């Protein structure tokens, strides 16, 4: 069992949470993806996060919300893949029941890109949103360098 302190806040599940259910065909795709990830030179946390993000994406596609604006299968057609990625990002950031952060949405798109590459479909042609750029308080305008940094 993994130390709970080592798990990112982004990927923690509440106690007793179960993975999102998928229909058999999508569950089979996810199982194949999990097997491919097992051989990839990735950290265990990354594998787990990618699987979670892809599972949620596949559930979104299956729910019908993923078929609103594009025609064709996003798991086989590049144009449909691109529309699905754009719509999914919008759903995560604005339309879903839980509004996600830009960091979370970008993380999901990275996992989906990896999944699509392993399907042989390639990465989606979609830009990532920039993270909000804010300076730490210690570096706010007019504060100057930290007093302890003067001797460095």
pLDDT digits (tens, 9 = 90+) for 46-98: 999 999 999 999 999 888 765 555 678 888 889 989 989 999 999 999 988 88
Is pLDDT above 70 for 10?
A: no
Residue with tokens 């949405």: 105
pLDDT single digits (tens) 98-137: 889 888 999 999 999 999 999 998 998 887 766 555 655 5
Instruction: Assess whether pLDDT exceeds 50 at residue 17.
Output: yes
**Overall pTM surpassing 0.85 (yes/no):** no
As a residue count, the chain comes to 152
Domain residue extents for the chain: 28-131
Interacting residues of 87 by C-beta distance below 8 A, sequence separation 6+: 65, 66, 68, 69, 70
In whole angstroms, give the CA distance from residue 85 to residue 88: 5
Chain centroid to CA 14: how far?
18
pLDDT over 90 at 35, yes or no: yes
Q: Which CATH class is domain 28-131?
A: mainly alpha
Q: What is the 3-state secondary structure (H, E, C) of 5-69?
A: HHCCCCCCCCCCCCCCCCCHHHHHHHHHHHHHHHCCCCCHHHHHHHHHHHHHHHHHHHCCHHHCC
């Amino acid at each position: 069992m993994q130390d709970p302190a080592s798990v990112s806040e982004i990927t923690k599940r509440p106690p007793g949470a179960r993975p999102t259910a998928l229909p058999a065909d999508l569950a089979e795709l996810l199982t194949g993806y999990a097997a491919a990830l097992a051989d990839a030179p990735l950290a265990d946390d990354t594998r787990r996060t990618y699987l979670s993000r892809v599972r949620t994406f596949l559930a979104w596609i299956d729910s019908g919300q993923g078929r609103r604006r594009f025609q064709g299968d996003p798991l086989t057609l590049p144009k449909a893949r691109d529309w699905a990625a754009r719509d999914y990002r919008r759903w995560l950031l604005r339309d879903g029941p839980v509004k996600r952060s830009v960091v979370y949405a970008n993380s999901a798109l990275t996992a989906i890109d990896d999944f699509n590459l392993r399907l042989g479909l390639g990465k989606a042609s979609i830009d990532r949103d920039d993270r909000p750029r804010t300076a730490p308080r210690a570096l706010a305008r007019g504060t100057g360098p930290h007093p302890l940094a003067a001797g460095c």
